[in-house]
Chains A and B, each alone.
Chain A
Amino acid sequence: MVFTNFLHPQKQEKVEITARLFPLGNFIALKLEIAPEWHIYWENPGDTGIKTSFSWELPDGWELSEPEFQYPSKFESDGLVSYGYEKEVLYLFRLKIPDGKVLKETLEIKVTTDWLACKEICVPGESKAVLEVTPEIRQLLKKENSFDPVNEKFPQNGDNIGMTGLVLENSIIIGIERKQLPDTDYSKIEFFPMEQGVFSTIVPPRISVDDNKIIMELALDPMHTKIPDTINALFYNETGWGTSGNHKAIKKSIKLTNQE
Chain B
Amino acid sequence: MKLFYSALLLMCMVGIGMQPLAAQEEPAADSSPRVRHWVFGLNAGLDRNYHSVDMVYMTDMRFDKYREGSVFGFRIGYAPTKWLSINTGAVLIQKNYHMDHVFQYYNLRYSLPTTTTNQYVNVPLELRLSVGNTVKIHAFGGVFGGYWLSSHRSGTTYSFSNDRNYEFDEDWEFNDKRDNRLETGFTWGAGISGMIIGRIEVGADIRWYYSTSDIQKPYMVNLNPRYNTAFAIQAGVSYWL
Asked if chains A and B come from one complex, the reply is: no
B residues near A, CB below 8 A? none
